[in-house]
Amino acid sequence: MIWQLDLFLLMLVVICALATITVKDLLSATIIFSAYSFLMCLLWAEMGAVDVAFTEATVGAGVSTIFFIAAIFRTTRRSKD
Amino acid sequence: MKITSHEARERISHRDTILETTVRLMIPFIQLYGLYVIVHGHYSPGGGFQGGVVLGASLIMFALAFGLTASKNYMTESLNIIIANAGALIFTGIAALCALLGGMFLDYSVLANILPIDPISWRSHGIFLVEVGVGMGVMTIMISIYWDMASAGRLDEGL
């Protein structure tokens, strides 16, 4: 574990999480959420939990992004609130 | 921007050569990688769930590039249901077989009564058998979640 790298990745994770809930465009929010998942995957791998990182990369960054996009196509793209 | 079925049908007719060729080239490698992850699940990170998701993602990618109806020619709906149920049956069947043979639920070492291998190595091979079941189940359920979400349950045309 390198605490500088940890801190850097955690900062990026927090920035991505805040951006996801702030952005009004739901498609942009999905893509930022995908980046969040990928950064979490890097963080897991850096902390030694390779199995969890693998799951996060396949499910979080890969398939769930497609599911979110498929759900957005059935609703409106802009957030109302 | 809610798409109507007419717009979706128009989008399918606009085929993109670069996209289709890339997907055609990538899918065999992705599926080989998914099989590798399942088979090496008890030696290295990964396993049935992750490998199943990778295998499912390869077919989702095919459905995204070629359209949902084209993907149903390769993985038909009935085949999907059969593989999903077979996966669940493999998992619970092996687990219940261990219990029937006198061990605990999912205690693979008692399977040595059927096939005379060392009980210690049966623990390793039993995990492999269970993970094949998990991979089959996860792969098919990922595909059917995508089919249902992309076509709102009608299974006619996708994104």
pLDDT in tens, A3-41: 888 999 999 999 999 999 999 888 999 999 999 999 999
The boundaries of the domain holding residue B77 are 14-150
What are the pLDDT digits (tens) for A45-66?
Answer: 998 889 999 999 999 888 999 9
Contact between chains at B152 and A74 (C-beta distance less than 8 A)? yes
| Closest among B107, B138, B41 to A50, alpha carbons compared | B41
Residue A58 lies in a domain: yes
Residue A40 inside a domain? The answer is yes
Specify the number of domains making up chain B. 1
Residue B79 to residue A50: CA distance in whole angstroms: 33
Domain count, chain A: 1
Q: Which domain holds residue A67?
A: 3-73
Q: For residue B20, give Cα distances in angstroms to A70, B11, B14, B17.
A: 20, 14, 11, 5
Please state, as a whole number, how many other Cβ atoms lie within 10 Å of the Cβ of residue B123. 15
Q: Is B81 on the interface with A (CB under 8 A)?
A: no
Does B89 fall in a domain? yes
ipTM of the complex, rounded to two decimals: 0.84
Q: Provide the pLDDT for residue B1.
A: 44
Q: Is B3 within the bounds of a domain?
A: no
- Those residues of chain B that have pLDDT short of 50 are 1
Residues of A with Cβ-Cβ distance to B46 under 8 angstroms: 51, 54
